[in-house]
Chain A
């Protein structure tokens, strides 16, 4: 850069450089494309566009599987958690009790009539601790001696294994 000082021309170390102005730079394209690129491009794009429309209408097994995967995962995880929950010991007991409560007396009698379980076997597993006869036969205390006699006569006590 040159500048005047006390009528002498002084120079700095660096030579003067005219500042760049953007508008002075030509806008020539510096990048190039392979020959014939723009001749082929419309066909490539058109083909892809038509294929994308077809793909939208056709569901391939893999495509369906991919779409359904989140739902499948949710079902599997829910199933696993549900299975674990239902199989926990507390749930199991509660489930059995609920199932038994749902069986009618008539169904139970039918089942016992047709099974090989004997009265003794039933008595072995039933606990009568702290229970009175009234608990099993409500209203029996109200029966008169005559009623009891009739009841005993109606029952067959010939077999010592019967109740």
Chain B
């Protein structure tokens, strides 16, 4: 079902529940993986993906339709994710490097993680990026999203995003080559 049709059904009282179910089915995997690549742990990703869709449900009336439905949902997910990571750093009073270490340990543990050596190295190299830059990198590199859409989600200019992505790629290649 097209987003425009979905939005129409979400507005109707009788069709709201049904349309919301369709919306979750349509976007759950993309949103889950978007979050999972940031928080790494499945349980955290599970909590966050549920929170994101609950917020979508609550604030549906605020969706004005001047952005695409999927970029609006992505924006909610992105904000949830970044505040979760920021809270995590504050809660444990840990410097950034320790959270990075904690996430790297999760990759090494191999629970719900599998891949060849270079892919694992890539995941660990990504942790060296600041959270926001890592998020942009994931959307461009893994999700292959257009800069225009990422700009709408992150409320950043396309120029700034291109520079950020280019810088992230260079940094990751340097890390992998010096490892």
Any chain A CB within 8 A of the CB of B145?
Answer: no
Interface membership of chain B positions 26-66, coded 1 if the CB is closer than 8 angstroms to chain A and 0 otherwise: 00110011001100101000100110011001100000000
Residues on B with beta carbons closer than 8 Å to the beta carbon of A89 = none
Interface membership of chain A positions 33-53, coded 1 if the CB is closer than 8 angstroms to chain B and 0 otherwise: 110011001101110111011
CB B61 to nearest CB in A, in angstroms, measures 12
14 chain-A/chain-B pairs, Cβ below 8 angstroms: A17-B177, A20-B176, A27-B142, A29-B33, A32-B112, A33-B36, A38-B32, A41-B50, A42-B28, A44-B50, A45-B53, A48-B50, A49-B53, A49-B54
**Contacts A19-B177, A22-B141, A45-B50; A34 near B42 (Cβ below 8 A):** yes
Any chain B CB within 8 A of the CB of A30?
Answer: yes
**Contacts A22-B169, A33-B42, A48-B50; A41 near B112 (Cβ below 8 A):** no
Q: Beyond A31-B40, A38-B29, A46-B17, list 12 extra A-B contacts (CB 8 Å).
A: A20-B176, A28-B119, A30-B107, A30-B114, A30-B119, A31-B37, A31-B113, A42-B21, A42-B28, A45-B24, A49-B54, A53-B57
Is the beta-carbon distance between B24 and A46 smaller than 8 angstroms? yes
The 6 A-B pairs with the shortest beta carbon distances in the complex, nearest first, are A30-B115, A49-B57, A20-B176, A42-B24, A45-B53, A32-B112
- Count B-side interface residues using an 8 Å CB cutoff: 37
**Contacts A19-B173, A32-B112; A50 near B58 (Cβ below 8 A):** no
| Complex CA–CA separation, A41 to B114 (angstroms) | 23
Any chain A CB within 8 A of the CB of B122?
Answer: yes
Any chain A CB within 8 A of the CB of B72?
Answer: no
Residues on B with beta carbons closer than 8 Å to the beta carbon of A45 = 24, 28, 50, 53-54
| Complex CA–CA separation, A27 to B122 (angstroms) | 10
- Count A-side interface residues using an 8 Å CB cutoff: 27
Residues on A with beta carbons closer than 8 Å to the beta carbon of B6 = none
Any chain B CB within 8 A of the CB of A127?
Answer: no
Any chain B CB within 8 A of the CB of A26?
Answer: yes
Kindly report which residue of chain B lies nearest to residue A30, judged by CB atoms.
Answer: B115
Is the beta-carbon distance between B54 and A52 smaller than 8 angstroms? yes
Residues on B with beta carbons closer than 8 Å to the beta carbon of A21 = 173
Any chain A CB within 8 A of the CB of B91?
Answer: no
Residues on B with beta carbons closer than 8 Å to the beta carbon of A25 = 118-119, 122
Is the beta-carbon distance between B21 and A46 smaller than 8 angstroms? yes
Is the beta-carbon distance between B54 and A30 smaller than 8 angstroms? no
Instruction: Output the residue of A27, A30, A50 with the most chain B CB within 10 A.
Output: A30
| Complex CA–CA separation, A31 to B32 (angstroms) | 11
Any chain A CB within 8 A of the CB of B151?
Answer: no
Is the beta-carbon distance between B21 and A22 smaller than 8 angstroms? no
| Complex CA–CA separation, A37 to B36 (angstroms) | 14
Any chain A CB within 8 A of the CB of B146?
Answer: no
| Complex CA–CA separation, A53 to B17 (angstroms) | 12
| Complex CA–CA separation, A140 to B37 (angstroms) | 103
| Complex CA–CA separation, A30 to B142 (angstroms) | 12
* Cβ contact of A22, chosen from B25, B54, B173, cutoff 8 A: B173
| Complex CA–CA separation, A21 to B119 (angstroms) | 12
| Complex CA–CA separation, A51 to B40 (angstroms) | 28
